[in-house]
Amino acid sequence: MRNSKVEIMGEPAVRINGKDLIGKTGQSILELALANGIEIPNLCYDARLSPSGSCRLCVVDVEGQEGPVCACTLQIQPGMVVRTETEEIRAIRKTILELLFYEHRGVCTTCDENGNCKLQQYAYEYQLSDDVFERGAGEGEEQRENYTTGNEALEYDPDKCIRCGRCVRICEEVQADSALTFKGRAASVEVTTAFDIPLNDSTCELCGQCISSCPTGALYERAAKGKGQCKDLVRTRTTCPYCGVGCQIDLNVNPETKRIVRVTSEVGCIPNNGNLCVKGRFGMDFIASDKRLTEPLIKRNGKFEKAT
């Protein structure tokens, strides 16, 4: 959680869907709900970041409040009564999802994030019409051009972007880099760098943190493109071998090729909390290198020979 130093309230202070819960001072409704296994749909929320409320999908009904409120930005108060699944709330969320899909022009069946995309998951859960999954650019609509990052590590597809701002915020709040920003207004908003310069010429460290926070696959690893969809990959947790920090990483392996497609890390894992450096995220190619030793060697007369 973002708030590490909190005071435990003495008695159940909040009731969510009829369940009395013990909260923490400064905790949001969304944080309390997720900590107690109550799922509230969200797209712009990342536990590593400050809340923004930009996607509006986490709206809930709070007794005494006028209209729906964002669960990620409203802090809990003693005696608060919250309902997360009323008919009105679900109808609002469905409308929001339809609007998001109007801007999200990706095709789920050919997307590498297929099976690991919250937007896709919520579209199924809220029974959006089938055509939203295969929408693409509609008739008379201009397909947005991909932003050229100028590097081999990551790429940005604006057609999949929902403007949640997570990539911009994680770059600023976690990496303290601020390499990414927004340009344009309203429906024309896009993620870019200052003055639209190539990412290689900006302050970007190519750590891939923006990829780790993106909920829709708008930011993705170029090397992983077409190597396997998330739903088909097998994850194996291990410890990053590069330094002594002990970051926990998940090797996402294509079971058919037996090759690592990408490296990810789960938010909440100790000690790195889902954060990885450029080596930990992009530096695992050596595992499949044909230059790795396959048998013990011994050096004789200045040359390596088989030990046995």
Q: What percent of the chain has pLDDT over 90?
A: 65
pLDDT category, 144, cuts 50, 70, 90? low
Q: Specify the domain boundaries for CATH 2.20.25.90 within the chain.
A: 233-286
- Residue 147 — very low, low, confident or very high, per pLDDT cuts 50/70/90? low
Distance CA 240, CA 234 (A): 17
| Lookup: tokens for 81 | 């009564």
**192-246 confidence digits (pLDDT tens):** 888 888 888 889 988 999 999 999 999 999 999 999 999 999 999 999 999 999 9
DSSP state of 223: T
User: CATH 3.10.20.740: which residues of the chain?
Assistant: 1-85
pTM of the predicted model as reported, rounded to 2 decimal places: 0.84
For the stretch 9-59, pLDDT in tens is 454 589 999 999 999 889 999 999 999 999 999 999 999 999 999 999 999
Smallest Cα–Cα separation from 266: which of 148, 140, 116, 151? 116
Whole-angstrom distance, CA of residue 278 vs CA of residue 65: 45
Residue 291 has pLDDT above 80, yes or no: yes
Decide yes or no: CATH 3.30.1600.10 for domain 233-286: no
Whole-angstrom Cα distance, residue 190 to residue 184?
Answer: 6
Residue 4 in this model has a pLDDT that exceeds 50: no
Beta-carbon contacts of 286 under 8 Å, excluding residues fewer than 6 positions away, are 292
Chosen CATH of 1-85 out of 3.10.20.740, 3.30.420.40, 3.10.180.10, 3.40.50.2300? 3.10.20.740
What are the tens digits of pLDDT across the range 152-169?
Answer: 788 888 888 999 999 999
Confidence of residue 142 (pLDDT cuts 50, 70, 90): low
C-alpha to C-alpha distance for 210 and 25, rounded to whole angstroms: 29
Residue 141 confidence class, pLDDT cut points 50, 70, 90: low
